[in-house]
Amino acid sequence: MLAYVFWHWPAEGVEQATYEAAMAGFQTSLNRYKPEGFISSAVLGLARTPWSDKLRPVYEDWYLVKDFASLGLLNDGAVDATNKPPHDGVATRVEGGAGGVYRLKAGVPDFATVRRANWFSKPAGLPYAEFYSGVPAGDVVGQWERQMVLGPAPECCIFTDGRQVSVPKAENAIAIDAEPVWIVS
């Protein structure tokens, strides 16, 4: 399973309730009129981005798809005739954003139980097998690894129900409180 992750924040002057209502409209439409290969999506509210404490509040959209081919179908389907009006309803209120593509390494993507995002990167030169031998995999909501760099986000993320995890040998580790804002019902 892959996820296109999109971080975004409202433009100055846009009220949070208006922004979240527009997001919910798009998410509802996309999950009702699903492009082929699209599984589901969720939106988390974060106090900041994983790369800067200057960008807040921020929203983190997780668009789950079956494979890389499904990413193209999601890209087209998000702005097709049915989904374009609600997409544009939120897009016109966004000040900025960044993205990335991640692969699920362990756990299950149960975004309703996420309360903390633990972001970190693998040190250069350290083999992945050695690095992952120290990464906790049990009892996590989801462990994700970046597949494509589309912005400044860290390489790995472990979601938990609120616990901060310790990752031996990790670089640039940061724990950010997260709150589900929109989840498929």
Residues of the domain holding 156:
2-183
**Which CA distances in Å does 6 have to 16, 134, 158?**
18, 28, 16
Phi, psi torsion values for 123, nearest 5 degrees: -65, 145
Question: What is residue 52's predicted lDDT score, i.e. its pLDDT?
Answer: 84
How much of the chain, in percent, has pLDDT values that exceed 90?
A: 74
Q: How many domains does the chain have?
A: 1
- Can you tell me the distance from the alpha carbon of 63 to that of 30, in angstroms, rounded to the nearest whole number? 10
Other C-beta atoms lying within 10 Å of the C-beta of residue 169: 14
Residue 71 has pLDDT above 90, yes or no: yes
CB 128 within 8 Å of CB 122: yes
Question: 18-48, pLDDT tens digit by residue?
Answer: 999 999 999 999 999 999 999 999 999 998 9
Question: What is residue 122's predicted lDDT score, i.e. its pLDDT?
Answer: 92
Mean pLDDT of 136-155: 86
Other C-beta atoms lying within 10 Å of the C-beta of residue 54: 7
Give the predicted TM-score (pTM) of the model.
0.94
Structure tokens given for 101: 């593509």
Q: Read off the CATH number of the domain in which 145 is found.
A: 3.30.70.100
Question: 47-63, pLDDT tens digit by residue?
Answer: 899 988 877 789 999 99
How much of the chain, in percent, has pLDDT values that exceed 70?
A: 98
Question: 96-132, pLDDT tens digit by residue?
Answer: 999 999 999 988 889 999 999 999 999 999 998 888 8
